[in-house]
Amino acid sequence: MKWVQTILWLLFSTLVLQAQKYSNEFLAIGAGARAHGMGTAVVATDTDPTASYWNPAGLAWQASVKGLQLSAMHAEWFAGIGKYDFLSLSIPTNSTNKRLGISLIRFGIDDIANTLFLYEEDGSVNYDNIVSFSAADYAVLLSYAWQVGQQGHTTMGVNTKVIRRVIGTFANAWGFGFDLGIQHRTGPWQLGATLRDATTTFNAWRNTLTQEEKDQLLATGNELPQISALELTRPTLLAGVARQWAIGQWSFQPELNLKFTTDGRRNTLLRTNLLSMDLALGLEAVFDELVYLRAGISQFQKVQQFTQNSFWASIPSVGLGLRLGRLRIDYAFSDIGDQAGRFAHIISLQLNLKPQAP
């Protein structure tokens, strides 16, 4: 199939580019409490507005009669120091099984003290000179999803990403990239794959220090930072498989996801100098489309102890969802991923802005 060949070519043609490891990691945090409650294993099954993040192809499964759909998420880490927000809108088109999506992401640390001008020229300390700034990352995802063929078993989607990263008045960057996604359903089975940063995402950084800030840095014995540079994010492939069972008013859906990164060796289950692979497992149990119970596990890492012994660790998560008419409230409790047991509370809302047709 030509589209498969195109995806493989995009993936492997970028491996020769020199890229920074863990580039644009704020885009790897995730979106939606449902996904976090399932250990982020949702690539094959996500169809709500958060699918614009996980797999844009999932948007096309929502019928036009469901109208506009809105999803919002908020999470805080390190006692509220780091704040992460996600807002997504799924929009039906005039064509059946075709949808547009618009998503906004912000991850930032606010109220950072800037002590660059703390000292006066005579060496005295003037606390009135302390001002605050923010280090924040932003992303806008523009999604389009459609059904493939007449049988209605396959959907595809594409994201256009615009990235803005700001470090106070000191430096900023603009970035652009693309994601490709596909989902397929056959009986109780669901398959999905997403190729993030398919053509390699580019961030162009530039130094925005004022002349006064540069003079102050040099006067205090510091070097001027060389921030102007091009940051590259290599492709990441996510693949998932899920199956659904129904028992009375209950339905159960486990899912397995594999994540392949191409920026070199990482601390994952499988790691080489070229590719690294990690997995995520999730389970969702639904009662009468009203109550959702979720659990998951992800991010398997080998931890080295001071005694030189090592062991495998992972990130567990649990979640709960409740549907109240057109509103669904989701909650997840999960570690932030540093193996230090610092769990975070994650809350998200999903609202159907237009009721389904009778």
Give the start-to-end residue ranges of the domains of the chain: 2-352
Among candidate residues 273, 266, 332, the one with its CA nearest the CA of residue 300: 266
Among candidate residues 197, 207, 190, the one with its CA nearest the CA of residue 141: 197
Q: How far apart are CA 71 and CA 50, in angstroms?
A: 7
- pLDDT value at residue 122: 67
Q: How far apart are CA 160 and CA 63, in angstroms?
A: 23
Cα separation values, 67 from 72, 132, 142, 253, Å: 17, 42, 18, 26
pTM value? 0.83
pLDDT tens column, 99-147: 999 999 999 988 888 777 777 776 677 777 777 888 899 999 999 999 9
Q: How many other C-beta atoms lie within 10 A of the C-beta of residue 314?
A: 18
The segment with the largest mean pLDDT, out of 51-60, 149-158, 213-222, 333-342, is 51-60
Q: Is the pLDDT at 98 greater than 80, yes or no?
A: yes
Work out the percent of the chain whose per-residue pLDDT is above 70: 86
pLDDT tens column, 143-182: 999 998 777 799 999 999 999 998 888 888 999 999 999 9
CATH architecture of the domain with range 2-352? Beta Barrel (2.40)
Phi, psi torsion values for 13, nearest 5 degrees: -70, -20
pLDDT tens column, 321-342: 999 988 999 999 987 655 555 6
- pLDDT value at residue 13: 43
Strands 189-196 and 171-186: antiparallel
What are the beta bridge partners of residue 60? Answer: none
Measured torsion, CA atoms of residues 15, 16, 22, 25, in degrees rounded to the nearest 10: -60
Q: Which two tokens mark 111? A: 């109220």
